[in-house]
A and B are shown apart, each in its own frame.
Chain A
Amino acid sequence: MVKYAPKFIRNRERGGPSDFLKALEISGLTKVYSGFRAVDSISFEVEEGEVFGLLGPNGAGKTTTIKTVVTISRPTSGRVVVFGIDAVERPDAVREMVGYVPQAVSVDGDLTGYENLLIFSKLSYVSKRGRDERIAFALRYMGLEERAGELVKHYSGGMMRRLEIAQALVNRPRLLILDEPSIGLDPASKRQMWSYLKRMNREMGTTVLLTTHDMAEADELCDRIAIMNEGRIAVTGSPSGLKAAIGGDVVSLTLDGDGMQLTGIPEEIGSVVGRDGPVVKIATRDASRAIPKLIQYLHEHGVAVSSVSFDRPSLDDVFLRYAKKTFEEGEGYREARMARRVFARRSR
């Protein structure tokens, strides 16, 4: 790796117009399929070098959004601009900067791993000079060297995904787009894929846009996320920022003996938010710091504690707050049907 990274970074630091451009600017993007608004006037930006996640339930419009960026679907209205180039006006030029890993496995099972890299590098116009070197490097980097001569249909799902990322390594897109990259992978392959993506982002400066409904994945990978629901963006922000925004940690204490009064807990430690028999819930900003203080305070006031646990809001909570709201509000049936219709249309 070391051999390649400096060259690439130098390219980025050379200071072309790209320094002033966003990797992706989407403004007012709308896509209507036979009367159904799959994407409804969304806007967001992705900075160069960032890992950006598009989250949302099935049918939220994530894939549709991505397809307009890859220029295989034309927006009904709105603008999609990739590194300053309009995707509707110059689709070929945009595709030259974008690498795409679709949801379905997109490597060719009837070719070998090596051939998959070769063919797609040719179709992406990777110059002949250095092509073989890049392919050899990508195979090594992704740990596929030994099986490069085997037909891909004999690969495991994780290996196929790695090969797809290897394709991105050979073609070196400025913006790599992955649609549900961890779908169908076992936990080990998933973690491996994450680490490869992170390395690529870090060492080569590749901007990454991915969709997922796996919160752990978004938390692990993304610098920023946007949560989509019903074709709209519900909220945008960093995973930690979004988690903090929906509230801090909650500490649950089980007290020794019932009926103890718990008044006068200092505000800087936390505040009691609920009580159920011997269990007391205390909201606090950071549980790991608050717990020792809390125990000491209670000890000083003669209250014994038999057990402690705490909950930290996960991205799941953020997701549920923003994405599933309407399902809870009883609009679920219609929305679910719409989502299914879109899904059925796509798989037809």
Chain B
Amino acid sequence: MDDATALHQASNRDDTIKTPNLLTRLLQVRELALILLIIVIGAALHLITGRFFTTPNLNAISLGFATSAIIVFGMTAALVSGGFDLSVGSVFAMGGVAAAVALRADLPIPLAMLCGVGSGILAGLINGLLITKVQINPFITTLGMLGIARGVSLAITEGSPLAQLPTDFLIYGQGKILGIPNLILIALITILIGDILMRRSSAFRQIYYVGGNEEAARLSGINVDRVKLGVYVLSAMLAALAGVLSVSRFTVADPGAGSGEELRIIAACIIGGCSLRGGKGTVIGGLLGLIFVGFINNGMILLRVPVYWQQLAMGVVLLLAVGFDTFSQRWQGRSRGKKTV
């Protein structure tokens, strides 16, 4: 909605100068292409299956990506800063396991959840310090943490999931407010806060400068190391929080939870417009990427695509989506170019 009003104002301003090509203007909002794609896919699925836009189905889709949406904020920050975080899936499991251990030791629920999130902050600190102070490449650092966090979860649990958690704890992952699952509300709030911070807060804007041109950012007085450290702490903290909430949803802390999550999240962020080269991307874009993937996955089941073909179809659709985006970017660039001539 924000985009729409901003766009409206923008086009009003332009009216005085020149009649704008509405389509061109619209397409300049980066996420719009993806929003349109999502609407088209949703409408098509609804027309074909007759049961896509139903409350239970949309509920199921959103619950499916709710915990991922929480992680998307941190991953977007990491990608924008020019790095990425491969450890989120493992930290997700570790956060859940840490919280479950604390709960089973009869710690008060908020404190136990804090233990879970705290384990993520610690992992993020280690990632951040290794990347900034020891200057190990983010790929290697977070790959190492992927192993370490998974290993910690396995070692603590000795491989068996932890259950028998207090029922009061389950409210976060299973409760509802006004009919909307808490998990979806928490995810939306996180995304909203994340998007506003990344757009408006000067501290978070520094991430774009660092990712866009690290040297220039340093010369202009930005403490690059502090920004990067913050990014990895944020990413791991949110991954651990998502893990804690997932335990509350499933009533079990599984040391194997979240395996492969890092790639799903990175894929969603890239679909949503993040660049692997850094400096580009929005949190809302990442959410749209998740919605897109969620729609496709749901659609394949509704359309009865045989399970053996689903991964292949998903891979093709991901490439098409990113290709479509790249193409529309280039087209925008060209139309912008024409205007200035």
| A and B associate in one complex | no
Binding site for B on A (CB under 8 A): none
Binding site for A on B (CB under 8 A): none
